[in-house]
Structure formats: structure tokens, C-alpha cells
A = this chain, B = another copy of it.
Amino acid sequence: MSINQLFSSELKVVNIGLQSFRDALEAVKTPVVHVDWKPSMEVAPDALHILSAHRKEIDKANQKAMKLILSGQPQLVGMERAVDVVPGLKNDMILHAGPPVTWERMCGPMRGAIVGALLYEGKARSPREAERLAASGAINYSPCHEHSAVGPMAGIMSPSMPVFILKNAEHGNYAYCTMNEGLGKVLRYGAFGPDVIQRLKWMETILYPTLKKALSKTGPIDLKNLIAQALHMGDEVHNRNRAATSLFYRTIAPAVVTTCKDTKDASDVLEFINHNDHFFLNLSMPASKVTLDAARNLRNSSIVVVMARNGTDFGVQLAGTGNDWFTGPAAVPDALYFPGFTKADANPDIGDSAITETNGLGGFAIAAAPAIVQFVGGQAADALNYTRQMYEITAAENAVFQIPSLNFRGTPTGIDVIKVVDKNILPFIDTGVAHRKPGVGQIGAGVLSAPAEPFQKAYEGLAKAMKS
């Protein structure tokens, strides 16, 4: 490239380390990704040695992982009761968000949601009775992620709950998720009052059969296409789902009208979705899950296939480390708190919804949804910078999921734990905030970086797996 060409082309500067040099460039608004240079994360020297020595095998495995992930075709194909379709879900079992956790170590909102689920299932008649049962050892707890499922916030899935069934039309695997209840006092934020249980019952008896019938008329709904459109419409499909919910609504409404005999039910169902801009979250999450699961159990791959939190621990799973969880304490998000609440009221980060970031959406695609950053006090330019930084730790760009304001660049996809450790840049995650006590519900929304520990452990775990 001649000097002339250099100066007529768009300058892109990656500045490492010295903040003042970034400031100088920013004064003239050169797009600059300030890669706040730090030494790599600390990891065991032998792990560093093993992964360095096997870089070629890892790169090859990661290429395969990204091919599997980027070729995914998530479709919504139907609905059933959880116990009838979710693999391994038994009648005495409750699934939860994040890595494994015992009742004793569970956070308040997760306990609250389990109390609610036991009331909903008719296994207890009062919260006190439910709590006793929950702690008795008679209920088995298991992570959603170990059952091809995901759940936002507490992520509680009990046997009778209806679930969306998603199929990866390219690779044949399935994923499952409950329906979104809306905002305010809801089970997933740990609330369990009579209104919460009543809503869940309505969802089971009216919403579920109505949508199930409508889906049998529409046939499979292509969620990849729908998410791609939503990214052109200001969503990142984690904390903002207004466009995706609208597009889903447009797709399903005529079929609801045709297949639902009861006019009031049809109208109530449409109003319920219309009044909940987050309805699509419980589709974008399993769409991400079903996409990423295609790359599971891929020897030597350092690509992250799960990031999930149970409100106590933050857990990571890699394509190359099978069903192992790598965990560390979950952090309390910096958030915009609703009036009357502060960070002191907040539960540590919770929910499987970081599966969207794992799939290059959510915080990774926040440049597509600057309204979220504005909501928590930032500027549109901050959103661009957050997304730009995530290209540093990902293995590929998604040609289908594009960000208009980055001139339709593909979303940064496929977190490579080696890049995370080497560059010491942590994944950026959008999140809702639950009150730390059971029964209260949502108290805010915000953004945060993942904790380092699970990634350090995952790095070492991969080295161990490659040695064996």
C-alpha cells in the first residue's frame, strides 16, 4: 500500500496500553478501539505451555466449531409440556439457570422461583410448605443447560410448564425454553405471589394451547432470519426485543385468529404478547442455545459454548471440554436501579440469558441497540466501542447477523477462551437485575463484564483435556 493509499483509506487504529495516545486520536475522532492493554490473565504455566504447543490443532478445531455455529438454522417447530419433551426432566426435578448449585448455596431469587414452581405444580399449598419441600432433598435440581434448555434469570423450568421446541434444521439438535411472563413481579425474578402463579396457569391453559395450534398452522418459524431483521431494527435480542417480538407477533397473529375458536382467548393472547416487548427473549435464548450446542464435544476447541449464571456462580463451558463447568463467583451488575432500590439490594448476576452473548448477540451486538446504552447513561458511541472490543476475543463474524451502524459488519461471534486470557478482555453482557431477597422481583437493568475466574479455569481445563 502506498502512502497515498494509506491516507485516503479509512484509518483504523488499535491502541494498546497508553491512554493518552487514545485521547489524542479521539480528539480527532479516528475510530479507535482502546484495548486497555494489560498483561494476560494469570493461568497455570503448564496450561499455557500445553495450549501454546498445540495452537495448530486448536485453530483447526475452532474453525470447525465456527462452521458448525455459523451454519446453524434455529427454527421454532412446536410446543409441548416440558416433562414430555425435555431430555432427562423427571417429575421430581426442577431445572434452573447457570451451573449446578445446591439449595443451600442458591441465591434468594432462585429460591423464590423454586417456591413458586412448587406452588404452581401443586406440590405445596403454602410458600412455607414449598420451602420445606425444596430443602428436604425430595426435589432434584439440575441446570437447564444439561437438558438442552435455557431459562432467563432464575431460569426455573418445572415439569408442567409448557416450552417452546426449537430445532437446528442444519444439524438436527433441539433446544427448549419456557414462555416469557412479562415484566414486574414474575417467577423468573424470584416472585411467587398468587398473581404470579395465576399468570403461569393462564399461560399453561390459554396461551400455550393457542400458540401451539397457531404454530401447527404456520409451520416452522425461521428464527435466524427473524433475529437478523431485528438487528436491523434496534434490537440486540437480549435486553431489547421490541422489534423481534413485533416480527414474531406479525407472523403468528393471523394463525392465532384462524386456529383459535374463542375470540376472547385469541384477543387475550395477542394482547399478552403485545404488552411484553421481551416476549421474544425466550426465543432468542434457545435459538442461541440450539445454535451453539451443535459445536459441543469438539475435541481441542477453545470456543465458549455456554456462559450462564445461577445468581451465586458464573459458569462457562467450552466446545473442547465436554460437560465440565468452570465457575467463579457471579458479580453484582452496575445497573440503572428502579426508584427505591440500590446496588445493595441487587442479587449477583443471574440467568442463562448470556447464551445470547455466547452466540454474538446481546452485549456483543449492543452497537445495534444504542438505546440500551443510553438507558444506563451512556452514549451511542459507547455501544459501538463495546461491540468493537468484542471482535478482539471472538473467532469469527456472523454474515447473517449484521450491525447497521458498523456498516453492516457481522456480529463478533465465538468467544475464544485463549483470546480472553491472552488479551485479558472479558465478555460484555447485558442483564436484568433481581432483588437478592426471594419474592420481590426485578429492580433494575444494566451491563457488566463477565468475571475472570471461570475463563482462567476453562483455559486450564482445556489444557487438561488435551493432555489426557
Copies of this protein chain in the complex: 2
Q: How far is the CB of A368 from chain B (nearest CB, A)?
A: 9
Kindly list chain B residues whose C-beta atoms are within 8 Å of the C-beta of A104. Answer: none
Least Cβ distance of A13 to chain B in Å? Answer: 10
Residues of B with C-beta under 8 A to A385: none
For A380, the chain B residues whose CB sits under 8 A away are 404-408
* Interface residue A63 (Cβ < 8 Å from any Cβ of B): no
Closest Cβ neighbor of A231 among chain B residues: B234
Chain B residues, CB < 8 A from A213: none
Interface segment out of the listed A4-12, A67-75, A140-148, A311-319: A4-12
A243 touches which one: B233, B264, B381 (CB < 8 A)? Answer: B233
**Chain B residues within 8 Å of A251, by CB:** 274
Which residues on the B side are within 8 Å of A406 (C-beta)? 380
Q: How far is the CA of A247 from the CA of B23 in the complex (A)?
A: 41
CA gap between A242 and B374 in the complex, in Å: 23
Residue A232 lies at the interface, judged by CB distance under 8 Å to chain B: yes
> Is A466's beta carbon under 8 Å from chain B?
no
Interface segment out of the listed A25-33, A115-123, A285-293: A25-33
| Interface contact B407-A405, CB-CB below 8 Å | no
Report yes or no: B274 in contact with A371, Cβ–Cβ below 8 A: no
Interface: A126 (CB within 8 A): no
Query: Which candidate, A92-100, A265-273, A434-442, is the interface stretch facing chain B?
Result: A265-273
Residues of B with C-beta under 8 A to A253: 249, 253, 270, 274
Check A270 against B249 for contact (C-beta < 8 Å).
Answer: no
Question: Which chain B residues lie closer than 8 Å to A264 at the CB level?
Answer: 258
A254: interface (CB < 8 Å): yes
**8 nearest A-B pairs in the assembled complex, by CB-CB distance:** A246-B246, A233-B233, A380-B407, A254-B270, A233-B234, A257-B267, A254-B271, A28-B28
